[in-house]
Structure 1
């Protein structure tokens, strides 16, 4: 046996040792998180049990327990019953051993359920020793990043393969031992040496020894301070919570994470491989499933609710296809999110990205066509580019795809041509059906004409369950409440204000003129006596005193101008005011305004036109949201709120909707509640929706006309003018 064989075994042993060391380092880092999490989770479970009334034990035992004497004894919660134990329970008059056994068994069942479902929320504003230890333990894994996770996964594979081979090759490690073993062991040892040499050569060519060594270094590196860990948590909370969910095993309900797809489709999606070689970000389980869905089904709509990381899922699909050898990709989006898309692709992947927009877009397009990469363009710019040949583009991504639901629009026609020519298409929208289910059919038609044709009036009449089943081959939607257990609370408050005499006068003038839009903003047109404006000032002042940032949304530019003037004139605590961010602000400038708003220390206010800022811009820096008036479409409000209350938000979000009593606001709220219920039934999961959407739908023009006529009649203005929408 020569030196070559011994060297091969030694190289294999060193690589195996390094792999096992990295696995051990990762295991210890994970165990540190579990150890820090355990007392926090146990305390959360106890708080939950202490809040459950003892009467709930009746539900668990189907009403068999008699608990009157237990409550009279002072045990009023399930937590109290468990803490009391069997001895104390038996001392309660009228409670026998059988009742004690049943009571404790029911309490333990509730405790187990709470233990499995309760989520740990990390309060960034009230750091305690326990949560600080947890954040610091998580920081190690977050800082090590996807490369460390990838290295550990490879290390596991190497260890599993090298371990048995090294055992078989042990005789070859020493010159004289080979003389003492039989022919079978000698042959096995020589075969093992050959395989070890091949494995080590392959690993070295792939750079695995360096990758594994770096992972160990990163996993052993501690944060410079607890302050550094907390700052990083606030910046990257989504990654911290993602790791926490994975390590704790408290993952979302599988059916919810998979969008309640039929079993046969879900099985096909689960079997789809997802390559992460060109990706620089870890995915949550539901995000990996979304990327696999797009790959397995080829042409799909990803309809996840706002804030669930649709962009990350699209990037995962792009990275996978690039690893398979695809070279050209196209992303189409509103101008307002061009900058966001380029940033995300550059930060989250190793893919080349090019902006195909502006006066030089044709030159940029030619460069993209020649060199490849991810082209990012707008709906309008896409119309000026030649459609690709079959197979030229690996994936077409269309962000905010509900913008192309009208088949008569030129932008819709351009997208339809590209979708037809591309083998894979990913439509992304959190609001695929703003009013009518049948509008959704037009989006589906661009992807799968057969599925679109199957969506007739009958599906709408049958309710949302039949509808979701029909669109399952092309449509996946998950909701925040189903998959993001760590989101801080969202508190929504309708702030009803009595119009001042001055407000009332302005409102009557708008009604008399039949001007619907003037009616909607009348409460701000005389700012010196505006009841809504006064309440808005109070909300902003309270937020500022608490060091919170506020975003103020309105449909109207002139309302934002009034608000800006009032806040700038009335601010005495140093609160900075940014904006207004409107549709006329260039896309790149919009992103800079949001960045500046997020970057300023302390309280700040961002003024934003709701239809401009409700698309694509992430405003997690804001924990207070003010909506100046009700919107014609409920989804406009949903989108705007979701810009702040989304994955990555670390503080509870308070939403204040400013409403005036007795006029247009009341009528809009009443009508739009029906619209919201319709949207929930069809765009979200529901088993009880039975009404056809067209029976409830109200178009913008029809809504304006109806409300103006009703208000003119209420105020005795039957000779008023017909409704005007501007």
Structure 2
């Protein structure tokens, strides 16, 4: 045989070996996680079974067992029955060998079901050796990142393809072997060599070998220290829990993850390929399905409950289209989330992103049209841009899509024109639409007129699941309780807002006066034009739509007054809780807030609400401005995120770009990391959080001076007012 044939086989063998190494390294990393997870999982299962009454065995056996004598003997839980074993059961009067076997078999089936469903919780405030071992083991896989995950998938695919090909091509590795092989084996060997050569060429073009090599390096990295692993877990807990959900190999609730779509439609969505090579983060299973749904159905409403990551699903769909040659995308959203969209696209993908907003928006639009990328603009600004030609824009994404539910408004008409010219359109809303058929029909009329006309007001009476099946071709919604069983109960989001013109004027006045405290609350000085207040209102309204209570924290009493006036007339508002309210009265206010059967808002000064009160009735927390010490925010959030909280807690920290908030966040970031890494692990530091000195006065002076310099006020520099 020729030299080129032998070289092709050798190249295939080297690639196969590299793939096998990655698979082996990943397998050992997974085994380490499984080993660390097992004692925690066994303990959680044992606790669950010990809390399960023995009467549940009747359900498993459809009432065929008589358990009265078992309960009288003191074995009142399923856990106690399993612990007793067959010998102890047979000692109970009336329990023979057959009955004992039936009881134990039923208990074992229930134990297996609990094992499948139980979720291991990692308590970051009470680290102990077993959870530390689990976090360290997970850290290796988290650090490998999305590229590591892609490398493992490629390695598995290459191993499956190259193994049989190399076996068939073995005779071609030498002339004598080829001579001794029969005609059929020679033919099969030459065909395998051609396939190997083609595969190796594809791999070389895609740079797969470099990806595999890097993955091996990452997976062989030594274990992190316990402090480093815990700090990283706090920063990226969702990624840890995402991996943890996959490690045991448990099958998720497929129906819930797929929004209870009809089987035929769900199968079509699963067949839709998703190229995630442009993403910088990994997707959870339900998020990947959501992105596939958007691509397969082309024009849809993604109505996932707040906190499930609608934005990353949209970005995943955009990056897929970009890999297929699409170059232009448009995101339209309220002004309050403009900056968040830009930051998310830039941080989570390789896509170019441009802000099409403000006085230079038309120049920016012209640049976007010429160079491509993701344009991010507002509903009002969209009206001023020319409608694109057919096929020019790969996808239109409309965030807070319920804002265009009224077809008579100019913003809705502008969106409708863009939707008509785009092959893909994604409407996003966290507001449940099942009981708002009229509004929902208006939205989907832009996407699928025929389906919209078939909906009637009375269709909502069929129930939410049945209604979602009826509108399945255009609507996907998942709830947190259905798909986030493994996620931690705390999710934190920095809401970056761009100051309005009015906000900016108030802020400049505070900077000119050298008043640090006025700078911190300038964004609320003129409520009618406040960007932060607008976003706060959206968060509260969406929480209310989902039946959730909200607690709003601020350092400043006057800010709470402004917030209270802005929210008046909506959901019930309680408080404000301030330092001047007697302790007994404070608890009464909190109790009244908790007693409200539906949505409500509690206003609290962060120093007063951050200590001594339990606010676990709230599952949404809003912090109006960054605090001087990280402990202040942590103690406030802990009022809601504590034992007794039955829903995930979402924390929204309102931050303004380009001013005091941004400077405070940057200056405190290093101190926060140090505090998390060391002081938080210390019982003394937890009891006396002020022991971590942040030097308030010096911090204020530095920020005022830097802001005066940035805004050209150096000649007017004054000492900061306290």
TM-score, with length taken from structure 2: 0.71
CA contact (8 A) 1:382 1:414 kept: yes
Output the CA distance in 2 between the equivalents of 1:403 and 1:347. 26
CA contact (8 A) 2:468 2:476 kept: no
> Once the 2 structures are TM-superposed, how far is the Cα of residue 375 of structure 1 from its aligned partner?
0.7
- The match for 1:274 is 274
- The match for 2:160 is 160
Output the CA distance in 2 between the equivalents of 1:111 and 1:640. 26
Give matches, 1:345-364, under 5 Å.
345-364=345-364
Output the CA distance in 2 between the equivalents of 1:581 and 1:391. 43
> Once the 2 structures are TM-superposed, how far is the Cα of residue 78 of structure 1 from its aligned partner?
0.7
Q: 1:523 to 1:338 in 2, by over 3 A?
A: closer
Q: 1:183 to 1:413 in 2, by over 3 A?
A: closer
Output the CA distance in 2 between the equivalents of 1:396 and 1:446. 12
- The match for 2:381 is 381
- The match for 1:604 is 633
CA contact (8 A) 1:258 1:266 kept: yes
CA contact (8 A) 1:355 1:377 kept: yes
- The match for 2:691 is none
Output the CA distance in 2 between the equivalents of 1:353 and 1:622. 33
- The match for 1:211 is 211
Output the CA distance in 1 between the equivalents of 2:312 and 2:204. 31
CA contact (8 A) 1:459 1:466 kept: no
CA RMSD of aligned residues (A): 3.9
- The match for 1:534 is 586
Give matches, 1:289-368, under 5 Å.
289-368=289-368
CA contact (8 A) 2:256 2:482 kept: yes
SS at match of 1:131: helix
Cα displacement string for residues 661-697 of structure 1 (whole angstroms, at most 9, x for unaligned residues): xxxxxxxxxxxxxxxxxxxxxxxxxxxxxxxxxxxxx
> Once the 2 structures are TM-superposed, how far is the Cα of residue 527 of structure 1 from its aligned partner?
8.6
- The match for 1:260 is 260
> Once the 2 structures are TM-superposed, how far is the Cα of residue 365 of structure 1 from its aligned partner?
0.8
TM-score, with length taken from structure 1: 0.71
CA contact (8 A) 1:144 1:219 kept: yes
Give matches, 1:216-231, under 5 Å.
216-231=216-231
Q: 1:290 to 1:357 in 2, by over 3 A?
A: same
Cα displacement string for residues 433-484 of structure 1 (whole angstroms, at most 9, x for unaligned residues): 3974322221122211111111112313444454323211111111111111
Output the CA distance in 2 between the equivalents of 1:216 and 1:489. 33
- The match for 2:541 is none
- The match for 2:244 is 244
> Once the 2 structures are TM-superposed, how far is the Cα of residue 428 of structure 1 from its aligned partner?
0.8
SS at match of 1:392: coil
- The match for 1:414 is 414
Output the CA distance in 2 between the equivalents of 1:172 and 1:526. 83
2:81 aligned with 1:52, yes or no? no
> Once the 2 structures are TM-superposed, how far is the Cα of residue 113 of structure 1 from its aligned partner?
1.5
Output the CA distance in 2 between the equivalents of 1:73 and 1:345. 62
Q: 1:436 to 1:531 in 2, by over 3 A?
A: farther
> Once the 2 structures are TM-superposed, how far is the Cα of residue 303 of structure 1 from its aligned partner?
0.6
Output the CA distance in 2 between the equivalents of 1:75 and 1:568. 44
Output the CA distance in 1 between the equivalents of 2:606 and 2:28. 53
CA contact (8 A) 1:301 1:427 kept: yes
Output the CA distance in 1 between the equivalents of 2:52 and 2:434. 39
SS at match of 1:602: helix
Q: 1:536 to 1:488 in 2, by over 3 A?
A: farther
- The match for 1:67 is 67
Output the CA distance in 2 between the equivalents of 1:210 and 1:403. 46
- Single out whichever of 339-348 and 4-13 deviates more from structure 2: 4-13
CA contact (8 A) 1:78 1:107 kept: yes
Cα displacement string for residues 255-282 of structure 1 (whole angstroms, at most 9, x for unaligned residues): 1111111222112111111111212222
Output the CA distance in 1 between the equivalents of 2:632 and 2:549. 23
Output the CA distance in 2 between the equivalents of 1:22 and 1:527. 58
- The match for 1:693 is none
Q: How many residues matched? A: 568
Output the CA distance in 2 between the equivalents of 1:225 and 1:99. 52
- The match for 1:459 is 459
Output the CA distance in 1 between the equivalents of 2:600 and 2:15. 61
Output the CA distance in 2 between the equivalents of 1:236 and 1:47. 28
Q: 1:231 to 1:331 in 2, by over 3 A?
A: same
SS at match of 1:248: coil
- Single out whichever of 404-413 and 23-32 deviates more from structure 2: 404-413
Output the CA distance in 2 between the equivalents of 1:128 and 1:12. 47
- The match for 1:136 is 136
2:437 aligned with 1:426, yes or no? no
Output the CA distance in 1 between the equivalents of 2:574 and 2:84. 61
CA contact (8 A) 2:623 2:652 kept: no
Output the CA distance in 2 between the equivalents of 1:147 and 1:519. 45
CA contact (8 A) 1:537 1:567 kept: no
Output the CA distance in 1 between the equivalents of 2:647 and 2:109. 39
> Once the 2 structures are TM-superposed, how far is the Cα of residue 640 of structure 1 from its aligned partner?
11
- The match for 2:495 is none
Output the CA distance in 2 between the equivalents of 1:42 and 1:325. 49
Q: 1:473 to 1:600 in 2, by over 3 A?
A: farther
- The match for 1:615 is none
Output the CA distance in 1 between the equivalents of 2:460 and 2:321. 36
> Once the 2 structures are TM-superposed, how far is the Cα of residue 380 of structure 1 from its aligned partner?
2.1
| Structure 1 residues without counterparts, runs of 5 or longer | 496-514, 540-552, 572-578, 583-592, 607-620, 627-637, 651-726
CA contact (8 A) 1:307 1:643 kept: no
Give matches, 1:422-571, under 5 Å.
422-433=422-433, 436-488=436-488, 517=569, 524=576, 528=580, 534-535=586-587, 563=605
Output the CA distance in 2 between the equivalents of 1:278 and 1:105. 50
> Once the 2 structures are TM-superposed, how far is the Cα of residue 58 of structure 1 from its aligned partner?
2.9
- Single out whichever of 155-164 and 357-366 deviates more from structure 2: 155-164
CA contact (8 A) 1:165 1:192 kept: yes
Output the CA distance in 1 between the equivalents of 2:159 and 2:434. 53
> Once the 2 structures are TM-superposed, how far is the Cα of residue 53 of structure 1 from its aligned partner?
1.4
CA contact (8 A) 2:610 2:639 kept: no
- The match for 2:149 is 149
Cα displacement string for residues 491-533 of structure 1 (whole angstroms, at most 9, x for unaligned residues): x9999xxxxxxxxxxxxxxxxxxx9859966965999567897
Output the CA distance in 1 between the equivalents of 2:342 and 2:577. 40
- The match for 1:683 is none
- The match for 1:663 is none
- The match for 1:655 is none
SS at match of 1:604: helix
Cα displacement string for residues 290-347 of structure 1 (whole angstroms, at most 9, x for unaligned residues): 1111111111111111111111111110011111111100111122222221121112
Output the CA distance in 2 between the equivalents of 1:524 and 1:5. 80
Output the CA distance in 2 between the equivalents of 1:122 and 1:183. 61
SS at match of 2:433: coil
Give matches, 1:603-682, under 5 Å.
603-604=632-633, 622-625=637-640, 642-643=650-651
SS at match of 2:301: strand
Q: 1:138 to 1:310 in 2, by over 3 A?
A: same
- The match for 2:506 is none
Output the CA distance in 2 between the equivalents of 1:305 and 1:195. 47
